[in-house]
Amino acid sequence: MIEDKILLTESPDYKGLVAKITNICYKHQLNIINNTEFVDGDTHRFFMRTELQGIFNDDTFIADLKFMLPEGATYKLVPKQRKKIVILVTKEAHCLGDILMKNYYGGLDVDIAAVIGNHDKLRELTEKFNVPFHLVSHEGLSRVEHDKLLSEQIDEYAPDYIVLAKYMRVLNPEFVERYPNRVINIHHSFLPAFIGAKPYQQAYDRGVKIIGATAHFINNELDQGPIIMQNVINIDHTYTADAMMRAGRDVEKTVLSRALELVLSDRVFVHKNKTIVM
């Protein structure tokens, strides 16, 4: 059966790497639909994303790659198919609403397994779109206890990615380490400007002329994870912090859903604290 798969290769760089990999594809009669590679100039690490079409024998294909490529190389061969996500929310509806709506009309091809909120406010909106909603309240719980309940609820769905759609709590290190490079957050500022709480108030206080939003993977430093996508809009002195927040919502939701699209189509490598987006 003819299938579409994506080969993601990382390796220490050396001469002939592209030729070797594309040769193995050719030997397996796999057609290269698209091929993009990048070598990090500092770390001499090689990254390649190859869209393949043909009849796959995954085991012998990976075995051939392993045989030919140097130690330290890694390969992922992923089918081109829709991924599963769980979405975490608090009270703000715009990012969740945009993902639900896009999914509804076919603008974002993803399986939304569930939405989990630490408040109940977005249950109604979620259920309009026939997606299960779970309230996992943080009240009376320590952060570690709450995060544990969260991950138990998440793990029931075994999602590929976890999306923080304006989830307004910091997650503890155990939680983050459980899902490495699988938790995507939207921060409502142009990082690294205005890390932490109330970025629009910070932006207002500083008197900036542009505001933005940043989608990034979560790591264990607050708002320091690898950036996937950013965008901005112009503002002026007439914007209050509240007007910035209102205007910023369209940027936030667009940046988050565009970042999701990139991640869900296996276009994003994480390398140290950066992303390589192909």
Q: How far is CA 171 from the centre of its chain?
A: 16
Q: Which is nearer to its own copies, 41 or 72 (CB)?
A: 41
Cβ–Cβ < 8 Å for 17, 46? yes
The whole-angstrom separation of Cα 11 and Cα 39 is 9
Would you say 163 and 256 are in contact if contact means Cβ atoms under 8 Å apart? yes
How many Cβ atoms sit within 10 Å of the Cβ of residue 157?
A: 18
Rounded least distance, CB 135 to its own copies, Å? 18
Residues 193-212 that bind its own copies (CB under 8 A): 193-194, 206-210, 212
With CB under 8 A as the contact rule, which of the stretches 63-71, 72-80, 131-139, 234-242 interacts with its own copies? 234-242
225 in Cβ contact with 185 (< 8 Å): yes
Among 3, 10, 12, 22, binds its own copies (CB under 8 A): 22
From 27-35, 134-142, 160-168, 171-179, span contacting its own copies (CB under 8 A): 27-35
What angle in degrees, to the nearest 10, is found between the helix axes of 241-264 and 199-206? 130
* One character per residue 139-178, x = contact with its own copies (rule: CB under 8 A): ----------------------------------------
Residue in 94, 102, 44 with CA at minimum distance from that of residue 246: 94
Binding site for its own copies (CB under 8 A): 15-20, 22-23, 25-26, 29, 31-39, 41, 92-94, 97-98, 101-102, 104-105, 107, 125, 128-129, 190-194, 206-210, 212, 226-232, 234, 236-238, 240, 246, 249-250, 254, 257-258, 273-277
